[in-house]
Amino acid sequence: MNKRTIGILTGGGDCPGLNAVIRGVTKTADKFGISVLGFHDGFLGMIEKRFDMLSFERVSGILTQGGTILGSSNTASPFEHVIAEGGQTRKIDVSQQCMELYRDLGLDALICVGGDGTLTIGGRFAEMGANIVGVPKTIDKDLMETDTTFGFDSAMVTATEAIDKLHTTAAAHHRVILVEVMGRNAGWLALESGIAGGGDVILIPEIPYDIELIAASIRRRSRFGRKFSIVVVSEGAMPIGGTQVVAKILADRPDPVRLGGISHVIADQLEKMTDLECRVTVLGHLQRGGTPSPIDRLLATRFGVKAVELVITRNFNQMVALHGIEMQSVPIQNVMGKQKKVPLDSPLIQVALSVGTTFGAPLDMSLRG
């Protein structure tokens, strides 16, 4: 009987904990006599046929490393592969060639580690006949059907530590400091780091803001002797009746819109409205880097072990998920093309309101219930 082989790839933006998943998958598979083949740079490795075998020894010592030893790509999609011809680019579908490689390698399953884009591509391969197991990764925590994703806690720790440090300089110079965090269209990272860091104002995409209400809150703090304020801004935040601030459009990407810059817009407005000096700190890719937190190491390892268990039991086309304290699985189709946003009745919003945080919205009072 031939030795079983599974593939693994890490797609989308990198985050702390990816190596912990790779380690968890490889060491668990080794225990059951299963070989693991790693594709380099996400789905680009399948497209370009770049891969190698992962061994127990190869993954030893990578638990605490950030990034991914396999590399990643947030631009590669076999269904929309960009090629250059005659000085121009066009997109072609090479998914069938990837399926042929999957079969030629004799893979028993392919473990796709990533966010909504990666898992949507994995789901499409499942529809083509591949045995897919998804592992939820994103610092945005915006994947459906799982309580959380690995990478989020590490990013929240980074954002919270930044807010903590900015508090002291804001107080020393009597400034308003805006801290812009990632999150795309979901406000989880801004909300949770804002609460943990004691943000005075938290702006998230789910609650469009009124700049007048933000300014009034900051002026009120100043009148009562708090001559500084911390405003935690999700990159996807927008004013009531307005739109998100787009940093750039990358037409050749699966997700062409890159958000960013909203905090600079708000800072300019607040300086004029409050006569207080405003400064902006955009955390950017700091949130993706560094050593994974203990929580993410544990979660990523549990996800990796569960993914191999699904392969062994031939429970394919599933995504591993955390429900409460239990590791479970959900159909990957339930995740494809969806985003989990902060609900307006979230207990976290109530907590923030209870300690005096404002969301810069006329809903603030009604949100209190």
Residue 258 has a pLDDT of: 77
**What mean pLDDT do residues 124-153 have?**
97
User: Domain tally for the chain?
Assistant: 2
Residue 88 has a pLDDT of: 84
Token pair recorded at residue 89: 């680019």
Q: Are 23 and 62 in contact (CB under 8 A)?
A: yes
Q: In angstroms, rounded to a whole number, what is the distance separating the alpha carbons of residues 155 and 138?
A: 9
CA separation, residue 78 to residues 81, 95, 180, 336 (Å):
5, 5, 33, 16
158 and 214 co-located in one domain = yes
**What mean pLDDT do residues 162-185 have?**
95
245 and 356 co-located in one domain = yes
Per-residue confidence band for 277, with pLDDT thresholds at 50, 70 and 90: very high
114: domain CATH number? 3.40.50.450
CA separation, residue 321 to residues 134, 202, 245, 327 (Å):
9, 28, 32, 6
211: domain CATH number? 3.40.50.460
Q: In angstroms, rounded to a whole number, what is the distance separating the alpha carbons of residues 265 and 95?
A: 42
48 and 176 co-located in one domain = no
163 and 247 co-located in one domain = yes
51 and 98 co-located in one domain = yes
77 and 39 co-located in one domain = yes
Counting residues of the chain whose pLDDT is more than 70, the rounded percentage is: 96
**What mean pLDDT do residues 212-222 have?**
94
**What mean pLDDT do residues 343-356 have?**
95
Counting residues of the chain whose pLDDT is more than 90, the rounded percentage is: 86
Q: Are 70 and 40 in contact (CB under 8 A)?
A: yes
144 and 161 co-located in one domain = no
Q: In angstroms, rounded to a whole number, what is the distance separating the alpha carbons of residues 39 and 107?
A: 12
329 and 185 co-located in one domain = no
235 and 260 co-located in one domain = yes
| 362 pLDDT higher than 90 | no
Higher-confidence residue: 91 or 252? 91
272 and 348 co-located in one domain = yes
113 and 258 co-located in one domain = no
Higher-confidence residue: 36 or 85? 36
Residues 6+ apart with CB under 8 A from 25: 6, 8, 36, 111, 304, 305, 307, 308
Residue 368 has a pLDDT of: 56
232 and 357 co-located in one domain = yes
Measured in whole angstroms, how far is the alpha carbon of residue 163 from the centre of its chain? 19
Tell me which residue range forms the domain holding 362. 154-289+343-367
**What mean pLDDT do residues 144-163 have?**
97
Residue 364 has a pLDDT of: 66
Give the catalytic positions in this structure.
Answer: 140
Mean pLDDT for all residues in the chain: 94
Residue 256 has a pLDDT of: 72
Residue 1 has a pLDDT of: 42
